[in-house]
Amino acid sequence: MRLKSTKGILAKFDLDTEGGLSGTINTTYTAYSAVDQREIYAGKDDGVNKIKYLNKNLPDWSIKELTVENLDDAEKPLKETITLSIENAAQINDERIYLKPTLQSGWEKNPFVSEKRAYPVEMPYPINDLYSLILTIPEGYSVEELPKNTRL
């Protein structure tokens, strides 16, 4: 039986008229994705390593609080709650606000850099990433266009 590695993200943000976001990101990791996150924490209950990791990789984020559940129990999903704010997360142009709905860019670089593939690509386990965003927009604005659901 192959384990299904999941990462479920629920982001709840308020957007202000200056383009800033403030809110929380609740993430649940299971199986291999939980192992990867536990390695980032490296056994630190206070989350110092994770905050350093986030600050290095996401310098625009201002992290107010980080809480973690089940860090030392590998049988349970790892749960994170990050309270944060992001200045200039959206572009404001006259009467419109432009916002990229995913706060992280995903893959930083293509993992398949070789021009010629000598061996087959092996995916040792299925990856299931779910991302949901609940966004409160400023008064006086309405949603003109929503991103489409994507399945890869």
For the stretch 32-66, pLDDT in tens is 999 988 888 865 555 677 777 788 878 888 999 99
Instruction: Tell me which amino acid residue 88 is.
Output: N
Kindly provide the b/e burial profile for residues 42-69, where b requires at least 16 CB atoms within 10 angstroms of the residue's own CB: eeeeebeebbeebeeeeeebebeebebe
User: What are the φ/ψ torsions at residue 115 (nearest 5 degrees)?
Assistant: -70, -35
Kindly provide the b/e burial profile for residues 122-141, where b requires at least 16 CB atoms within 10 angstroms of the residue's own CB: eeeeeeeeebebeeebeeee
Sketch the domain layout of the chain as residue ranges.
Answer: 5-104+123-136
Confidence band (pLDDT; 50, 70, 90) for 2?
A: low
Helix (H, G, I), strand (E, B) or coil at 35: helix
Supply the pLDDT for residue 105.
Answer: 60
Distance between start and end Cα atoms, the chain: 22
DSSP string, 54-95: HHHH-TTEEEEEEEEESTT-TTS-EEEEEEEEETT-EEEETT
Q: Of 59, 145, 151, whose CA–CA distance to 103 is shortest? A: 59
For the stretch 95-149, pLDDT in tens is 899 988 777 666 667 777 888 888 888 877 788 889 899 999 999 999 998 888 7
